[in-house]
Amino acid sequence: MPKFDYSLDYAHLDLRAHPELYRVGVGEQGVLLVQPYKGELLPHWRFATPELARQSSETIYRMFLAYLEAGDFVGADMARKFLQMGYTRSRRYANHKGGKKYDGPVPEDKKGRSGAHGRPELPRSPEDPVKAESARIFKAKWEEAEANEEYARLKKEHKARYG
């Protein structure tokens, strides 16, 4: 699978106009970079409480469906990534008080990329049931997006056409 291309100038690039430049990558890669989708989705992304997670995941899932209806795979994939990120960040806060999972700063050359980058994981706190419920809510919507047949079809087409 082609990796997400971190070398592109995402701050000045419209991936709706240039979907050929988009690579799915792994997991949430690029979720906070790819415009105009970051600007459209990020204002709706909240997970502090189950109520906010429910509202957020439902709004982002509706956006996911609207992107699919428009034939916009990049938008749908970015919405899927925001749902996944809702799950992973909620789980991080459920497992680690304050949300800090790793010890030490992120190396400059690794900022904006996922993974520990050689840093040790901090000990887990007792599970926060509120954040665990937020994670469950986001996970259900993320799985619903992943199972969507139109999404799978557009993803396959995008990879066949652009790599």
Quick check: is 108 in a domain?
no
Report the chain's mean pLDDT, rounded to a whole number: 89
Q: Cα–Cα distance between 84 and 89 in angstroms, integer?
A: 9
Comparing CA positions, the residue from 2, 15, 132 lying closest to residue 67 is 15
pLDDT, tens only, 60-107: 999 999 999 999 999 999 999 999 999 999 998 888 776 666 666 766
**Crossing angle of helices 129-146 and 50-69, rounded to 10°:** 10
Report the number of distinct structural domains present in the chain: 1
Residue 129 belongs to a domain: yes
Helix axes 50-69, 149-162, angle to 10 degrees: 60
Asked if the structure places residue 57 within a domain, the reply is: yes
Q: State which residues form the domain around 135.
A: 10-102+123-162
Domain annotation covers residue 145: yes
Q: What pLDDT does 108 receive?
A: 66
Instruction: Quick: pLDDT tens for 102-157.
Output: 666 766 666 555 565 667 776 666 777 889 999 999 999 999 999 999 999 999 99
- Residue type (1 letter), 161: R
